[in-house]
């Protein structure tokens, strides 16, 4: 995914921070959004919709970057909350960390590839959300985050997949029945 070495060298003014499980790092409405690199631990970002329902946009275990990139790029208040699911150590970047003109060429080229990879993953997710039935979505989650099924509660997985915890439960029992 995102190579730690590449990230670190491309972030001259990044700051290191620690958060405890349960802390909310960024809130919807905040203007002060930054990309966050996870060194250790686990974060999630999520949207609260008009009916008060939570939709998880992504998880960020070790070596992932998380943030409301849409809000950052368009200089709008964040739509997303970012919350700490395990005690975590992170690096908070500057907003423009990935395209700051003070970076050197290698770093900029590297960063463009980091963004490219993220687009690739998002493309895959969009195609998945559009076509795939609930069971296939769960498989997709297992591929994307092989280490997470044991680290996050099922209701969060369901929220990430856009299905209810009940549906996920029945999918899982169906899978284990088939074995």
Partner DNA sequence: CGAGCGCTTGATTGAGTTCAAAAATCGTGG
Partner DNA sequence: CCACGATTTTTGAACTCAATCAAGCGCTCG
Which residues here bind DNA, judged by CB under 7 A?
A: 133-135, 153-155, 162-170, 172-173
Interface size with its own copies, residues (CB under 8 A): 43
Contacts of 21 (CB under 8 A, 6+ apart): 84, 85, 86, 87
Question: What residues between 118 and 137 interact with its own copies by CB under 8 A?
Answer: 118-127, 129-131
In Å, what is the CA distance from 72 to each residue of 13, 24, 80?
A: 17, 18, 11
Q: Which of DNA, its own copies, none does residue 173 bind to, with CB < 5 to 8 Å depending on kind?
A: DNA
Q: What residues does 38 pair with on adjacent strands?
A: 90
The dihedrals phi and psi of 86, each to the nearest 5 degrees, come to -140, 155
Identify which of residues 9 and 172 has a Cβ nearer to DNA in the complex.
172
Position 1 contacts its own copies (CB under 8 A): no
Identify which of residues 13 and 20 has a Cβ nearer to DNA in the complex.
20
Q: What is the spatial distance between Cα 58 and Cα 116, in angstroms, rounded to a whole number?
A: 17
- Minimum distance from residue 75 beta carbon to DNA (Å): 32
- Minimum distance from residue 101 beta carbon to its own copies (Å): 5
Contacts of 69 (CB under 8 A, 6+ apart): 35
Question: What residues between 143 and 162 interact with its own copies by CB under 8 A?
Answer: 162
Position 175 contacts its own copies (CB under 8 A): no
Q: What is the spatial distance between Cα 29 and Cα 42, in angstroms, rounded to a whole number?
A: 22
Q: What is the spatial distance between Cα 26 and Cα 134, in angstroms, rounded to a whole number?
A: 30
Residues that bind its own copies (CB under 8 A): 47, 49, 53, 55, 57, 68-70, 72-74, 79, 98-101, 103-106, 108-113, 115-127, 129-131, 162
């Amino acid at each position: 995914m995102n190579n730690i070495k590449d990230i670190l060298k491309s972030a001259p003014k990044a700051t290191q921070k620690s958060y405890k499980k349960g802390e909310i790092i960024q809130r919807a409405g905040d203007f002060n959004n930054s990309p966050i690199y996870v060194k250790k631990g686990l974060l999630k970002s999520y949207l609260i919709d008009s009916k008060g329902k939570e939709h998880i946009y992504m998880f960020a275990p070790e070596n992932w970057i998380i943030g409301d990139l849409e809000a950052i790029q368009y200089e709008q208040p964040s739509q997303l909350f970012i919350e700490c699911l395990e005690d975590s150590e992170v690096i908070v970047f500057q907003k423009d960390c990935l395209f700051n003109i003070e970076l050197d060429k290698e770093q900029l080229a590297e960063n463009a590839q980091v963004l490219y990879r993220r687009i690739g993953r998002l493309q895959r997710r969009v195609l998945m959300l559009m076509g795939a039935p609930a069971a296939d979505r769960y498989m997709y989650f297992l591929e994307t985050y092989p280490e997470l099924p044991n680290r996050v509660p099922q209701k969060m997985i369901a929220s990430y997949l856009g299905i209810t915890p009940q549906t996920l439960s029945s999918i899982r029992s169906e899978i284990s029945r088939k074995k």
